[in-house]
Amino acid sequence: MDRVTPRTTTVIRLLGMQSGWSYERMQGIGFGWASEPALRKLLGHDRERYRLALARAAGFFNANPYLAAAALGAELRAEHDGLPASQVERLRSALCGPLGALGDRLFWTGTVPALSALGVVLVTLGAGLWAVLGVVVAHNVFRLYLASWLLQLGWANGTTVGQAIQSSPLPRLGSLAVWGATVLTAGAIPIVGTWLLADTGNWDLVMVFGFLTAAVVLRWFFGRKMTATTLTLIGGILVIIWQTVAR
């Protein structure tokens, strides 16, 4: 990969994958922008091929932004090898689903909530701003390393990148991340709850428990419309009315 493209530039540009996100092309503009320097280096000698490849790269694309590097590497390889346009487009759309599912599992239901829970637990245990810094550094080191590795994997495997990812440690890592996130987020609730309610009396604890019970009942009646934020705002309004009347 280093031989053909400014790899660092591509990895850095992948950080802006979601810029220009629209319902029409979803991440297409970000994907096109990230691909452009590499495409120019690969196909710059043939202006027509370069322009058609860039038009394809900026087309519809939607996957997990952290794993998009694999698709980008594979597409660059396919364009470099001169595969027919229809095959490049099939490769691109075939990768959206699996990369989306795996990436969402690894990041949005795995490492991100796990780090978030770890961060709040460490803060409540007195780690302060260091915990916050640790969370940010850990996430970014991991995602940058992963993007660089996936770009290389995509480039090395081209149209067979799907199988390469499947046989890599990533799917297993995704499962481990979800398990870790489940334990950490569940573990964070009593720790953070105790920390936040440390200076409250028994009557306060009864009120919080009452709020939670009412929330569960309302959610059971009205379904998923009753999100935590909606229920909290309803609770807040009721408290304001109650306190205003009481005064």
Q: Which H or E run includes 119? A: helix 112-124
Count the residues of the shown chain that bind another protein, applying the rule CB under 8 A: 92
Say whether residue 245 binds another protein (CB under 8 A): no
Q: What are phi and psi of 61, to 5 degrees?
A: -155, 135
The region of 2-10, 29-37, 80-88, 158-166 touching another protein under the rule CB under 8 A is: 29-37
Among 61, 65, 91, 102, binds another protein (CB under 8 A): 65
Considering the complex, state which of residue 113 and residue 162 has its C-beta at the smaller distance from another protein.
113
Rounded Cα distance between 114 and 181, Å, is 4
Binders in 152-211 for another protein, by CB under 8 A: 175, 178-179, 181-197, 199-200, 204, 207-208, 211
Q: What are phi and psi of 22, to 5 degrees?
A: -140, 160
Are the C-beta atoms of residues 106 and 133 closer than 8 Å to each other?
A: no
DSSP state, residue 106: I
Nearest CA-CA partner of 90 in 1, 161, 17: 161
Q: What are phi and psi of 23, to 5 degrees?
A: -65, -25
Considering the complex, state which of residue 156 and residue 191 has its C-beta at the smaller distance from another protein.
191
Q: Strand pairing partners for 230?
A: none
Residue span 70-99 as binding mask against another protein, x where in contact by CB under 8 A, dash where not: ------------------------------
Binders in 122-151 for another protein, by CB under 8 A: 123-125, 128-129, 132, 135-136, 139-140, 143
Are the C-beta atoms of residues 188 and 114 closer than 8 Å to each other?
A: no
Binders in 30-59 for another protein, by CB under 8 A: 30, 32-33, 36, 40, 50-55, 58
Q: Which two tokens stand for residue 132?
A: 């916050």
The region of 18-26, 82-90, 151-159, 165-173 touching another protein under the rule CB under 8 A is: 18-26
Considering the complex, state which of residue 87 and residue 179 has its C-beta at the smaller distance from another protein.
179
